[in-house]
Copies of this chain bind each other. A is one copy, B any other.
């Protein structure tokens, strides 16, 4: 076996974990539009966020510094699973009979099984440093709640997770994982908050929504001095923390002699996509090699390909600041599909800004074709991807087939953001033929877009 000729895994030692997160804001021709106060519609200052977030994170949210040092205590925890491996998907290449060279970064080796702990650990650290003892958050499918529970456990913080009632009932295993890490998991709407009680009074059988759960977590954070709020995607500082993925991938690709022609990631709120893509976009902006960057989103919740680029609320309860983003409208309810992490009406402002600037492309896929791609991948590469990650697998396979058509030995890099071991009901449904492609009604989308807030 000629190991080097035929290498599958490109690894780094733990002292090669990046020392800095990469802040793309430093390398853009123009900054993204600022967030606005929901009442005054004026740009908000850092002080408006102080009840919810530690100042260090608020500083990162607006920083123009290119390199943000990763605290030693955060790198210390990262070492439990980082650096994650970069794989050359040689068996997938042979399966597709493509001249393309396909690489993937695998984030499923984290204890929570996804990329989410990269930011959960950082957020827990900064909160702990500021004397906070408890973090409140929301979770839908449970990936984020599990990651923050893990981080809270490692830093000795209490974590309260408001979990959308329907998921709380349907996904007891995610709840059990959060409880394994010592978090308290509360079905939302709950009687613990005014927001929850208001909903329960009107709808005692409410199955909840991410919007309600956000309101509950924000309320708890706002009213308790010892408690802050944490978000698992969308915000600049969250995307920033995920750039360890792309920074490591750059170093690992350095071992291969290859550089990507195209970088592919799936997008829900945008954080894993940002993690793999931003360092490559930044390198290009600083005069490095041109790289195409493709965001793969669900056709049932297509904020980048069908949404408007407009100021909108981050939540359905309209408590958050307004941010300019590609949005389907905060009232848009996507049809049911099996990629809970991609069911968000908006897109991270920074990712939206990149699409607006023409620095990235976006493509929407239906779920059945994504599950087929994920199963094909598992049967040759071994890892069964999370349903969210299947969108990136599908995107990478499409790029590899285009390269085959063109007879070009393109280099493709994608992020495999998590494994599917907590999503087996979706696969069971897929194999039983119970999974169909879901479409929203165009009229519902137009109605939601018609209710976008009016900003001059």
Query: Count the A residues whose beta carbon is within 8 Å of the partner chain — how many?
Result: 51
On whether the beta carbons of A172 and B382 are closer than 8 Å, the reply is no
Our pick among B1, B80, B173 for the contact of A428 (Cβ within 8 Å) is B173
A79 to B5, CA, bound (A): 14
List residues 6-52 of chain A with CB under 8 A from any CB of chain B. 6-9, 11, 13-15
Q: Separation in Å of the A91 CB from the closest CB of chain B?
A: 8
Most chain B CB within 10 A, of A8, A113, A175, is at A8
Which of the 9-residue segments A327-335, A372-380, A406-414 touches chain B?
A: A372-380
Are B81's CB and A180's CB within 8 A? no
Q: Which residues of B contact A79 (CB under 8 A)?
A: 8-9
Smallest Cβ distance from A44 to chain B, in angstroms? 36
Question: CA A161 – CA B11 in complex, angstroms?
Answer: 35
Chain B residues within 8 Å of A428, by CB: 172-173, 175-176, 179
**Is there contact, CB below 8 Å, between A177 and B9?**
no
A244 touches B (CB below 8 Å): no
Interface segment, A270-278, A298-306, A362-370, A417-425?
A417-425
**Cα distance A110–B378 when bound, in Å?**
12
Q: How far is the CA of A6 from the CA of B76 in the complex (A)?
A: 9
Give the residue of B8, B150, B175, B378 whose beta carbon is less than 8 angstroms from that of A111.
B378
A344 interface hit (Cβ, 8 Å): no
Interface status of A280 (Cβ within 8 A of chain B): no
Do A1 and B76 touch (CB < 8 A)?
Answer: yes
Within 8 A of B (CB), among A162-186: 172-177, 179-182
> In the complex, how many angstroms separate the beta carbon of A337 from the nearest chain B beta carbon?
17
Residues on B with beta carbons closer than 8 Å to the beta carbon of A180: 375, 378-379, 384, 420, 427, 431
**Given A11-B11, A91-B154, 18 extra CB contacts under 8 A:** A1-B75, A7-B14, A9-B79, A81-B382, A111-B383, A111-B384, A113-B421, A153-B378, A154-B379, A172-B424, A172-B428, A173-B425, A176-B428, A176-B431, A177-B384, A180-B375, A182-B379, A421-B421
Give A residues with C-beta under 8 Å from B. Answer: 1, 3-4, 6-9, 11, 13-15, 72, 75-76, 79-81, 91, 109-111, 113, 150, 153-154, 172-177, 179-182, 375, 378-384, 420-422, 424-425, 427-428, 431
